[in-house]
Amino acid sequence: MVLQLEHLTVRPLSPIASAVVEYLVAQVGQVSIIEARFVYKLPIMITAPEQAYTDQPVIALEKVSMRYGRGSEIFSDINLSLPAKSFTFLTGASGAGKSTLLKLIYLALQPTRGLVRLFGKDVQSLGRNDLQQLKRRIGVVSQDFGLIPHMNVFENAVLPLTAAGKSVSHIEADAKELLAWVGLGEKLNARPTTLSGGEAQRLAIARAVMNRPDILIADEPTGNVDPVMGQKLLRLFQEMNRTGTTIIIATHDPALTENVIADTYKISSGQIERGSML
Amino acid sequence: MSSPRPTPILPKGHGEERPLFVIMAIMAFLASLSLVLVLMGLRQSASWQNDLKSAATVQIIGEDTISDADKAADILRTLSSVRSVDILSEAEGRTLLNPWIGELDLPNDITVPALIRLEIDDTTFDPVEIERRLITAGIEATVDNHRQWSKNLSSTWNRVRLALFSLLAIILCATVAISTFATRSVLQVRRNIILVLGQVGATDSFIGGLFVKRFLGLGFKAAITGIIFALIFVGIFMLWQNMGTDETGLKIKVEFSDILWLIALAFVMGAISALTAGAAARRSIQNNHKSG
């Protein structure tokens, strides 16, 4: 038996939530902890981005080729068009180029040839400041997490705001709530070097969603977390997508994709094709 | 729970800043010495020029220099451009020759010219006219208002001042170069942080600003350290100088206004260091971006 619990509006980890879950478990006896956790209302900052959307694709790659140095091409003339509010999985064998493709989209790399458009803008024609403004609309969870080791968990999480020159005082409570939601509420002052792989990954995810991005790009976001947390994070991504964020996730994890209605693209032999999970 | 304590985004280095601090302090030390010499020289030059301007010397060359000197003094006292007249004794005249002949006695058949020291009004004093009047009165005399010497002194001092300012400029340029290299070094060491900042949308100006903050403090502290050492050095020199008996020549002396200039120098060096670091960081990030 699976309960429909969407009407609950309690905040995560609050005493009321815990009491409700405990009551349901006691009464029904068949509510799994995973399902029960799903009823928690997501943190307040996971709301629709303010930007207006148009019909044009939010991410578009046109005849993009990429190679590192003088090596062979990783992609040759690939095209990809992702509409706003889409949820996309990117799959492919290890080394196929998933991370490279994501880096092209989140502007960490420039293609050898071809055109990358974000929000309808040709990114190669943009100046440095415009590019940085664009980057603020993209949340990134990279495989190496990209955490700053000498800053604590809270400071790492709010870095997108700090780097934008914004005050964090007005979102401090929300930021702490989000960190608590990903299970780092007790580790706000901890340094990333003291975190486990899973905790570091959750922190990277919290940072990526902190700025309410229009696009969230995650490279193997559940690679270091247990299945329960993996599902919880997936739920976070789904909720963000529901409220307007375009999601693109590179993953090897079939468990992540099997219960989600999403487009799937597979990279293989330097080409990208729409398909199903491996 | 209390708010976590804010941490600087760009952390302080583990020892990598020490050599930079030392080099910057040495630069500040040299710059301070140059500046002190310039300021001291300016004061001394102004003082000497002022003394020279208000003084003139009349040299009586004839056979009976003592009698001619008295006659000349009488004429000179009548002139409105002459404020005071002081005939130097023969002994005083010979003392003036000491720098050239040392303590040697001149042979008696060599006549030492009589010298008259004048305090004058430089605006109305006309040496040519006065010399003409003395010659007309039968006194073989030359009048020197030290203008040529003053001109030579001024010209020499201008060259020295230019050299010292050039030295100061070179030191400040070296500070720019040092800050640039240090910034590149920090950028290299903190490459991962810069990449993360770039990824979360930090502008080049924001990242440059981090370097400005970092190097402003470092540059200022290093400059203050260098300046303190320079003042100690000058202080020791002044003590050594005061122990001597030589009353002539350039006197090393630091005044309060010099300290204010040195404080300004510390701010300038801090600002140069900071602005250079900021600009170098921005340029380096932009170059990295272009190269891919």
Task: Say if A123 falls within a structural domain.
Answer: no
Q: Quote the number of domains for chain A.
A: 2
**Per-residue pLDDT tens for B212-266?**
888 888 888 999 999 999 999 988 888 888 776 666 556 677 888 888 999 998 8
**Per-residue pLDDT tens for B23-71?**
889 999 999 988 888 888 888 888 888 888 888 888 888 777 778 888 8
Tell me, yes or no, whether A21 and A104 share the same domain. no
Instruction: Give the model's pLDDT for residue A262.
Output: 87
Tell me, yes or no, whether A142 and A23 share the same domain. no
Could you tell me which chain A residue has the CA closest to the CA of B197?
Answer: A163
Tell me, yes or no, whether A221 and A96 share the same domain. yes
From B37's Cα to the closest Cα of chain A, the distance in A is 45
Chain B CB contacts of A186 under 8 Å are none
- The Cα–Cα gap between A261 and A238 comes to 10
- Round the average pLDDT of chain A to a whole number and report it: 80
Tell me, yes or no, whether A234 and A101 share the same domain. yes
Question: A155 in contact with B at a CB cutoff of 8 Å?
Answer: yes
From A157's Cα to the closest Cα of chain B, the distance in A is 11
Token duo for residue B206: 């924001």
The label of the residue with tokens 């977390």 reads: A225
Question: B206 in contact with A at a CB cutoff of 8 Å?
Answer: yes
Task: Say if A59 falls within a structural domain.
Answer: no
Going by C-alpha positions, the residue among B86, B84, B54 that lies closest to residue B70 is B86
What ranges make up the beta strands (E) of chain B?
Answer: 55-60, 82-87, 114-120, 141-144
Instruction: Give the model's pLDDT for residue A40.
Output: 40
Going from N- to C-terminal start, the domains of chain B cover 17-49+150-291, 62-139
Chain A CB contacts of B195 under 8 Å are 108, 146
Instruction: Give the model's pLDDT for residue A259.
Output: 73
Instruction: Give the model's pLDDT for residue A73.
Output: 87
The arithmetic mean of pLDDT across residues B113-131, rounded, is 85
Tell me, yes or no, whether A231 and A161 share the same domain. yes
> In degrees rounded to 5, what are phi and psi of residue B153?
-60, -45
Which residues of chain A carry a pLDDT beneath 70? 1-55, 276-278
Tell me, yes or no, whether A10 and A99 share the same domain. no
Instruction: Give the model's pLDDT for residue A31.
Output: 43
Tell me, yes or no, whether A262 and A211 share the same domain. yes
Instruction: Give the model's pLDDT for residue B146.
Output: 79
**Per-residue pLDDT tens for B1-13?**
445 457 888 887 6
Instruction: Give the model's pLDDT for residue A55.
Output: 64
Task: Say if A125 falls within a structural domain.
Answer: no
Tell me, yes or no, whether A34 and A150 share the same domain. no
Instruction: Give the model's pLDDT for residue B109.
Output: 67
User: Number of A:B CB contacts under 8 A?
Assistant: 72
Between A109 and B149, residue with greater pLDDT = A109
Instruction: Give the model's pLDDT for residue B124.
Output: 85
Which residue range is the domain that position A168 belongs to? 84-108+130-274
Question: B6 in contact with A at a CB cutoff of 8 Å?
Answer: yes
In DSSP notation, B243-287 reads: HS---SSPPP---HHHHHHHHHHHHHHHHHHHHHHHHHHHHHHHH
The pTM score is 0.68
Average the pLDDT over each of A209-223, B59-73, B96-110, B119-133 and give the range with the smallest value: B96-110
Average the pLDDT over each of A212-221, A222-231, B72-81, B153-162 and give the range with the smallest value: A222-231
Question: ipTM of the assembly?
Answer: 0.74
In angstroms, what CA-CA distances link A159 with A120, A219, B150? 27, 19, 66
Q: Residue A245: which CATH number?
A: 3.40.50.300
Could you tell me which chain B residue has the CA closest to the CA of A67?
Answer: B292
Q: Dihedral sign, CA of B65, B68, B73, B76?
A: negative
Tell me, yes or no, whether A266 and A199 share the same domain. yes
Tell me, yes or no, whether A218 and A102 share the same domain. yes
- The Cα–Cα gap between B187 and B271 comes to 19
From A150's Cα to the closest Cα of chain B, the distance in A is 7
Tell me, yes or no, whether A32 and A136 share the same domain. no
Task: Say if A124 falls within a structural domain.
Answer: no
Tell me, yes or no, whether A195 and A263 share the same domain. yes
Instruction: Give the model's pLDDT for residue A117.
Output: 93
